[in-house]
Amino acid sequence: MKQETFINENRPHESAIKHVTGKAYYTDDIPEPPGTLYGAIGWSKKAHAIIKKINLDKVFKSEGVVAVVTSDDIPGRNDVGPVYDGDPIFPKKAEYYGQPLFAVAATTTELARKAVLAAKISYKTLKPITTIKEALKKKSFVLKERVIKKGEALKAIESSVHRLKGNFTTGSQEHFALEGQSAFVIPQEDNDFKVFSKTQHPSETQQIIAKMLNQKSNSITVETRRLGGSFGSTETQSFIFAAICTLLAKKTKRAIKLRVDRDDDIIITGKRHDFYSEYSVGFDELGVITGLKLKLASRCGISPDLSGAINERALLHVDNAYYLENVLVENYLCKTNTASNTAFRGFGANQAMMVIENIIDHIATTLNKDSAEIRRRNFYQKKKKNITHYNMKIEDNVIQEIYDQLIKSSNYKSRQLSIKKFNSENKYIKKGICFTPVKFGISFTTWHLNQAGSLVHIYYNDGSVHVNHGGVEMGNGVHTKIAQLTAHALGINFSKIKVSATTTDKVPNTSASAASSTTDLNGAATLNAISKIKMNLAAYVKRKYKIKNSEGIYENGMVKFKGKTFKFNKLIKEAYLNRVSLSSTGFYTTPKIHFDKKTFKGRPFLYFCYSAAVSEVMIDTLTGENKILRADILHDAGRAINPAIETGQIEGGFVQGAGWLGCEEVVWKTNGQITTHSPSTYKIPAVSDMPEKFNAEIFKKGINIENVINKSKTTGEPPLMNAMSVFFAIKNAIASIGNYTANPKLDAPATPEKILMSIKNLKRKI
């Protein structure tokens, strides 16, 4: 009989059928108790202003309105900042266009949204700071600047054979998750609140609401069944919606649903940090970097939010896959009068990786060499050149193997030749190709967040299993993968496992589902809980049947001890009748990691994910339009628990990254008003923007050398960065116009306008 293992196999997402039939409950789908009211938020029309008066008379009188809340209704902390203050729920002074000022509850969502428009707010307008450059000039920062250093960068650059200088910008990005921000709150007895929230972070939602209400944490329960995508949009920025919704529920003593309109969602919440960099690099004849000096400045918006951690992850990824001997980086966290920028898949790492990739590209065009070859020459190596700029020894490096395999499987070299030929024969349409690597560090860089809990029950009646863990299902497949791990560990069918909604009263003090770590951490905690139940069962078997030192082998619905075999269900029922506990909590902490934030040295990551892509694009030099013709990706997912789900992440991440670097452009007017607040003005990739040929493959030899569940590696964030190859393929296509002799200046995103400007600029140089 073929043994069913339920791991290392393609299985559909546990909710796949519910997703496509519309039967899956998202926060907004939860059935409402009678008397439920609906919320809407009134927000600032000024980016920087003293609020002289908020006159809500007409709002109160508006049809269907039951209650209005302002800062006067907040008994406790008027702030939802996760690490630092700076994100008031309702501020005294408006600091960005779109900042919430008050909220209403009405009998329908439409009436609530209509009512907020009746507010009369008088402002004394102040001058806003809206750009990174302005903030740098005025020294407007959310946190202190930071300098990190390894070796002697300035000296090394000075004495290099070649030197280059330049600047580079990557743009912001709206998360645009299918499901927007939403919350649903039901008041309970004793002033307790049951909060359903679209969030990656139920535990912090609970803390934030408790502090706002001046109530104990045990009076607030937050539950999250699933998210329709999130990508960092609700690591912290869901808090204000859950908080406002709870405030309305407290005031009205009725259930409140707050589902934010797409435009309001985009206007109120922060996005990816755009980064501006200046670089000065020294390199040798081979293109190997000898010294690097960087200035990295990010647009943080009005508050710190997670910007400290995001900029830190940027500093930890200025190397990408390259060995840097001498590095000096200055990092500035710019405060601007725009919504507070926040976590977004990649969390600052990809912005920094783009900086070094742009530098390598600049080196390659300067030396007139193949950029893939220059990249390869700078790779970290195995026995030497394997210490990062933060002093961590890299022990799991497979980038050379990935390079070799992908360059071959993608026919990079021959395609490069035919592209050059195509370009010499075509005047207006140009093609480009590029290889880029990815190395991404896995673990929260904030040490204490690397912990997780789980709760596992086995029911005696039928041996079915209920798992609850601290991770949030957001399309990442965490529940599917943990159910697979559970089925495997207990040797029973996948259909007997139920993973239920994440909730703060089952597993407490959880970390955000973030940092690509959700399955690693919560999967390990679940296996820990299962091993404790197995110990209970082994102790019982030892006691009853005098079988010694046997842990039991769980396979195919059977449990084998030395000399005795049980059907799983029978053992469970028997254990129950003999008063054995069939339930346990589990806990996990990531081993080996430590990091000194002051000296910027240590081992912040348990392991690295490696990946690479080769992309081929076509541009129209008359219109600036571009198209991805082909993308080949080779991604190290270790020993993947569910290759189908990982492949979905690898493909989806790439397309999302291509959006960030290609068509998606967030635009603010000089007065701080965001103009790209709906799909009419903000272009995300569509089905037609998928690569025409798309080969996303998992690296077959991949294995996690660390003790991670199933020796797997996560696929959460790293695949996004494979899209760097698209951007530099576009740059390569532009460079063909100057016969590859000059370096085109191109900032991200490479929109048609930017491509046309780059071409114009290049033609002036040649």
CB of 78 to ligand LUZ, least distance (A): 23
Binding of ligand MOS at residue 352 (CB under 6 A)?
no
Q: Which of 174, 223, 664, 717 is catalytic?
A: 717
Binding of ligand MOS at residue 200 (CB under 6 A)?
yes
What is d(CA 459, CA 342) in angstroms, rounded to the nearest whole number? 42
At 235, is the secondary structure helix, strand, or coil? coil
Q: Please give the helix or strand (H or E) that residue 248 lies within, else none.
A: helix 239-252
- Sole binder of ligand MOS in the list 194, 299, 345, 481 (CB under 6 A): 345
CB of 469 to ligand LUZ, least distance (A): 18
| 626-635 vs 289-301, strand pairing mode | unpaired
Beta bridge partners of 587: 453
CB of 458 to ligand MOS, least distance (A): 32
Binding of ligand MOS at residue 197 (CB under 6 A)?
no
Give the interface segment with ligand LUZ, choosing from 353-361, 426-434, 441-449, 500-508 (CB under 6 A): 441-449
Binding of ligand MOS at residue 204 (CB under 6 A)?
no
CB of 445 to ligand LUZ, least distance (A): 4
CB of 446 to ligand MOS, least distance (A): 12
User: Are residues 485 and 522 in contact, defined by beta-carbon separation less than 8 angstroms?
Assistant: no
User: Are residues 294 and 319 in contact, defined by beta-carbon separation less than 8 angstroms?
Assistant: no
Within 13-52, the residues that bind ligand MOS by CB under 6 A are none
Report the amino acid identity of residue 347: F
Give the interface segment with ligand LUZ, choosing from 443-451, 534-542, 635-643, 689-697 (CB under 6 A): 443-451
Binding of ligand LUZ at residue 527 (CB under 6 A)?
no
Report the amino acid identity of residue 420: K
- Phi, psi torsion values for 674, nearest 5 degrees: -80, 130
What is d(CA 571, CA 568) in angstroms, rounded to the nearest whole number? 5
Binding of ligand MOS at residue 514 (CB under 6 A)?
yes
CB of 231 to ligand MOS, least distance (A): 7
Note the helical H segments in 117-235.
132-138, 153-158, 202-213
Residue 446's binding partner out of ligand MOS, ligand LUZ, none, with CB under 5 to 8 Å set by partner kind: ligand LUZ
Residue 445's binding partner out of ligand LUZ, ligand MOS, none, with CB under 5 to 8 Å set by partner kind: ligand LUZ
Give the interface segment with ligand MOS, choosing from 107-115, 173-181, 341-349, 482-490 (CB under 6 A): 341-349
- 3-state helix/strand/coil string of 582-620: CEEEEEEECCCCEEECCCCEEECCCEEEEEEEEEEEEEE
CB of 23 to ligand LUZ, least distance (A): 31
Structure tokens at 291: 């010294």
- Region of residue 151 (phi > 0: left; psi between -120 and 50: alpha; otherwise: beta): left
Binding of ligand MOS at residue 655 (CB under 6 A)?
no
CB of 405 to ligand MOS, least distance (A): 28
Binding of ligand MOS at residue 347 (CB under 6 A)?
yes
Residue 444's binding partner out of ligand LUZ, ligand MOS, none, with CB under 5 to 8 Å set by partner kind: ligand LUZ
Within 341-400, the residues that bind ligand LUZ by CB under 6 A are 343, 347
- Sole binder of ligand LUZ in the list 140, 446, 531, 556 (CB under 6 A): 446
Closest CA relative to residue 403, chosen from 439, 447, 451: 439
At 332, is the secondary structure helix, strand, or coil? strand
- Phi, psi torsion values for 25, nearest 5 degrees: -85, 120
Helix axes 202-213, 239-252, angle to 10 degrees: 50
Nearer Cβ to ligand LUZ (312/665): 312
Binding of ligand LUZ at residue 514 (CB under 6 A)?
yes
Binding of ligand MOS at residue 168 (CB under 6 A)?
no
Binding of ligand MOS at residue 7 (CB under 6 A)?
no
Q: Which of the 8 DSSP states describes residue 274?
A: P
CB of 486 to ligand LUZ, least distance (A): 26
For residue 336, the tally of other CB atoms under 10 A from its CB is 27
Q: How far apart are the first and last CA of the chain?
A: 70
**How would you list the strands of the sheet with 497-499, edge to edge?**
497-499, 465-469, 451-458, 583-589
Binding of ligand LUZ at residue 444 (CB under 6 A)?
yes
Residue 200's binding partner out of ligand LUZ, ligand MOS, none, with CB under 5 to 8 Å set by partner kind: ligand MOS
Residue 344's binding partner out of ligand MOS, ligand LUZ, none, with CB under 5 to 8 Å set by partner kind: ligand MOS
| 451-458 vs 465-469, strand pairing mode | antiparallel
By CB under 6 A, the count of residues binding ligand MOS is 10
What is d(CA 453, CA 588) in angstroms, rounded to the nearest whole number? 7
Residue 55, class by beta-carbon neighbours within 10 Å (0-12 exposed, 13-18 middle, 19+ buried)?
exposed
List CB contacts of 28: < 8 A, sequence separation 6 or more. Answer: 179, 182, 184, 257, 259
CB of 113 to ligand LUZ, least distance (A): 32
Structure tokens at 24: 């899956």
Give the interface segment with ligand MOS, choosing from 140-148, 203-211, 338-346, 642-650 (CB under 6 A): 338-346
Binding of ligand LUZ at residue 266 (CB under 6 A)?
no
Binding of ligand MOS at residue 232 (CB under 6 A)?
yes
Q: Has 717 been annotated as catalytic?
A: yes
User: Are residues 661 and 613 in contact, defined by beta-carbon separation less than 8 angstroms?
Assistant: no
Contact pattern from residue 274 through residue 313 relative to ligand LUZ, giving x for each residue in contact according to CB under 6 A and a dash for the rest: --------------------------------x--x---x
Contact pattern from residue 706 through residue 725 relative to ligand MOS, giving x for each residue in contact according to CB under 6 A and a dash for the rest: -----------x--------
Q: How far is CA 591 from CA 450, 598, 607, in A?
A: 9, 21, 11
What is d(CA 750, CA 171) in angstroms, rounded to the nearest whole number? 10
Which residues form the catalytic set? 717
Residues within the interface to ligand LUZ (CB under 6 A)? 306, 309, 313, 343, 347, 444-446, 449, 514-515
Residues within the interface to ligand MOS (CB under 6 A)? 200, 232, 235, 343-345, 347, 514-515, 717
